Structure 1
C-alpha cells in the first residue's frame, strides 16, 4: 500500500512540475534508479509512475537514454479566483416535510424489496447476454410482452408487443414521438391539466392550445373549434380534477378524431386504483380506427424513482416512429426492465397491487372521515373514487399564495389547483387543494389534517 501511494505521489508531482514548466521541453528526467534512491522506493515504483506519464503523453523515451519531457504549451489559466459554490434555485430545493399531501408520491413502505432483489439476481442470470449488448430503443421484448398481457386484461388495451415502446419516462416517449414529425403539431391539452407535459410541448416548439373542462371532462366542442392535430386527455381520472369522462363524451371525441384523421394521446397515469366500482375501460379499448396513442406508467403502482413508462402506438404511426429511432439507444435501465418483467410474470406485481389497493382504500376512507369531521360545511370534496388524490374545495379568505406559503412554513407539502392552471385563478372565497393520500401514514392523517385546519383558520 505504501508503494502504491508513493507511485501516485511521484506521478502527480512530476506531472505538476511538467505542467508548470519546471522542466524545459525535451529535458531529461532523473533515471529510474536515481529517483528510486532519492525517494527511498523500489525501481518498479518509479517505473510505474513514468509509464503512466508516458501513456498520458507527458514524456517520451529514447532507447538506452531514458525519459524526456514532451514539448507542451503552457496551460492558460485566466484568473486565480476561488471557485464559487453553485447556489441552487431555492424554489427547486425539496424540503423534508413533516406531512405530505403530495399527489406525486406513493407509499413504498410495503414494497417487497426482498422479492424485487430476488428477481434482480434472476435477471442477471437469465439475461446476461442481452444486457451485455447494445439495447434496442423500444426496450426488451420480454418486458413488452409482459406489459401487453397486463394491459390487455387490466385496461382492455389489445396490442402487439411490437407496438409498445418502453422508456425511462413519459417525457422521453413524447419527445421521441414528436421528433418524428418534420413540422410542429397543434396539441390540445386539458386546462387545468398536467403542467409538466404542457411545458414539454412548449419547449419543443409545438403549438399548444388549452381546452377547458366541464362536468364531463374535456370540452369536445372547444376541441372542434381549435382543430388540433393531437388531443391529450386523462379520461379515466382527469388530472387533477378527478373527473371520469362518460361514454357519450368518449364516443364523441373518438368520432371527431376519426373523421378528421387526428390522434388522441390517452394518459392513463393512475388507472390501477378504483374504489367501490370496477376499473373504467380505457379510451383505447373503444378505438377501432387506430386513432389513440396510449400512455402508461409504473410510477403510481410501484414507485416514481423506478422510471419505467410505456407508450402504445397505432400502426399508422409505428412505421414512421421505428424508422426515426432505428439507430437510437434506449435510456431505460435494462436491469430494472428485466426485473420488472420477472416481477410481473411471477404474479408478484398483481399481488402487490392488491395489497396496496387495500392500504390506499383504508387511508382514503380515513382522510374523508377526518376532513368532514373537522371542516364540516366549509369544504366540498370532489371524490371520484379513483387514483391517489382528490380535490378539496375550502372556504377561506387566504389567497392561493398564502396557503402555499403557510403550508411550507409549517413543514407541510401541499399543492393547489393554481399549479395546474394556465392562467392565475380568480381570487374567490373558495380555494381548491390537491390532496394526495398515498405517502402519509395512517397514524399521521388526523394530526396532519388538524395542522391543515390550523393553517386555513389561523
Structure 2
C-alpha cells in the first residue's frame, strides 16, 4: 500500500514524493510505477490530482507513459544522497537606515495619488529613454530653475548614475578615450574600465583640474564634477570651468558634466551649469535624484546634446528603461506640485546652518584663548 504524508498543494506534494523515490533508487530505470488508480485509492486523491503529478514528472524526464501499459521510470535520474541534508541559512534582516530629512509620508501620499489617478499608464512598458511625462517635467524644471534650454527628447532616464555611465560606453564604444579627475568617484573608473574605455587621470588642485595636465591630455572626452568633485568636494573656479569648455571645443568627443551635488554646495542663486554655458553642443549633462531626494531612489537622468540623439537611438534606444512607470510618475508629480523644490530649499538652508555651526565651533577655542 502506498503511504505518503501529503501537504497542499497535493499534486505538487505527490510529485515530490515520487521524484524522491526515483532519485533515491527506490524506483530504478524501467520500473513500472503504481497505476493512477492505485495512487488515488491509497492516498485518497482524485485522479486529476494524480495525473497532474505524473504529468509534471513526465515533462521533467523522470518517467515515460506507454500506452495501455502505464508509467515507467527513465534512466539517469538517481541522485547521490547527501550526508548533510540541505538547510536554508537566511540572511540577517535588512538594516533600517531611515533618511529623517526625506519626507517619506509625502512621497508615499504622492505615490498613492498617482496609483489612483494614473493607473492606466503605470502598467505600460516605459519608453526606452523614460516616460514622456517625467521627461517633460524634468525639461521644464531645467529650463526654469537651471537656465538650461533642454527639449524633453534630449533626456534619458536611468536607474542610477552607473547605468548612465554604461550607456555612454555603449554609445561611444572603442572611441571612448576619457579623462577623469584624480581623485574621482571610484565607480566611474570601474565602469569605464569594465567597458574597455581608455582612461587618463588628471590631477586636481584647489581650483579644479590643473591647466597644464588638461592642455597636455590626449583624451577626446572629459568627465568632471565641476561644482563638487568626489571625494575632495573641490569646486572648479570660473576660470577652470571656462578652460574645460574651451578645451572640449576643439576635441572630437564631449565633456561629461556629472552634476550630482550642485543643489547643495552653495547658498544663494545656483550657478550656471557647464551645459548652460556651452554654445557648441559639446556637453553631456548627468544628474541624479539619489542625492537630492533619497539614496534609496535609484533614479538618474542624462541630457544629450541634440547632435547625439540619433547616436543614442542607434546604439541604446532599443533598450528598455529599468525604472518603473510608478516611480517615474510619482517623481514627475513630486516635482510638478512643488514638493521637490521645497525639499531642496529646506535642505540647502539646513546645510548652510550646519556649515555656520561648524565654523563657529572651530573658532571658539581661538576666541577663548584670546
| 8 Å Cα contact 1:4/1:45 also seen in 2 | no
2: CA distance between counterparts of 1:27 and 1:297?
Answer: 63
Which sections of structure 1, spanning at least 5 residues, go unmatched? 98-104, 378-458
Q: Give the Cα separation in 2 of the matches to 1:170 and 1:333.
A: 16
| Aligned positions of 1:367-446 closer than 5 A | 367-373=358-364
For the pair 1:308 / 2:299, whether they are aligned, the reply is yes
Using a 3 Å threshold, how does the CA distance of structure 1 residues 220 and 158 change in structure 2: closer, same or farther?
Answer: farther
Q: Which residue of 1 aligns with 2:317?
A: 326
Is this contact kept in 1: 2:24–2:79, CA < 8 A? no
8 Å Cα contact 1:18/1:69 also seen in 2: no
- Are 1:18 and 2:9 matched, yes or no? no
Rate the CA distance shift 1:33–1:193 in 2: closer, same or farther, 3 A: same
Q: How far apart are the structure 2 equivalents of 1:12 and 1:237?
A: 59
Query: Offset at 1:113?
Result: 2.4
Whether contact under 8 Å (1:165, 1:312) holds in the other structure is yes
What number of residue pairs does the alignment pair up? 360
Assess if the C-alpha contact under 8 Å between 2:267 and 2:352 holds in 1.
Answer: no
Partner of 2:219: 228
Distance in 2 of aligned mates of 1:301 and 1:117: 17
CA distance in 1, matches of 2:222, 2:259: 14
Partner of 2:3: none
* Contact 1:165/1:310 (<8 A) preserved: yes
Task: For 1:317 and 1:181, locate their aligned partners in 2 and report how far apart those are by CA, in whole Å.
Answer: 10
Alpha-carbon shift at residue 79 of structure 1 (Å): 8.2
- Residue 150 of structure 2 corresponds to residue 180 of structure 1: no
CA distance in 2 between counterparts of 1:327 and 1:70 reads 47
The aligned residue for residue 72 of structure 2 is: 69
Residue 112 of structure 1 corresponds to 103
Distance 1:301 1:33 in 2: 66
Matched, 1:346 2:337: yes
- Which sits farther off after the overlay, 17-26 or 218-227? 17-26
**Partner Cα separation in structure 2 for residue 328 and residue 308 of structure 1:** 16
Counterpart of 2:290 in structure 1 is: 299
Match in the other structure for 2:37? 33
Please give the alpha-carbon distance, in whole angstroms, between the structure 2 residues aligned to 1:12 and 1:247.
71
Deviation at 1:321, TM superposition (A): 1.4
User: Secondary structure of 2:287's match?
Assistant: strand
Distance 2:69 2:329 in 1: 54
Q: What is the alpha-carbon distance in structure 2 between the residues aligned to residue 366 and residue 23 of structure 1?
A: 78
* Structure 2: distance between partners of 1:159 and 1:75: 64
Q: 1:57/1:136 Cα in 2 relative to 1: closer, same or farther (>3 Å)?
A: farther
Which residue of 2 is the match for residue 217 of structure 1? 208
TM-score with structure 2 setting the length:
0.84
Gaps of 5+ in 2: 1-5
TM-score scaled to structure 1, two decimals? 0.69
Once superposed, what is the RMSD of the aligned Cα atoms?
Answer: 3.3
Q: Could you tell me whether the CA contact under 8 Å between 1:3 and 1:41 is conserved in 2?
A: no
Deviations 1:272-301 (A, max 9, x none): 124543212111110010011101000111
Matching residue of 2:53: 49
1:227 counterpart SS class:
coil
Instruction: Tell me the distance in 1 between the aligned counterparts of 2:21 and 2:7.
Output: 21
Matches within 5 A, 1:201-212: 201-212=192-203
Deviating more after overlay: 331-340 vs 167-176: 331-340
Alignment partner for residue 153 of structure 1, among 144, 153, 168?
A: 144
C-alpha distance in 1 between matches for 2:33 and 2:178: 67
Distance 1:161 1:365 in 2: 39
Shifted more, 139-148 versus 324-333: the winner is 324-333
Matches within 5 A, 1:225-304: 225-304=216-295
Alpha-carbon distance, 1:138 to partner: 0.7
Separation (CA, whole Å) in 1 of partners of 2:72 and 2:347 = 67
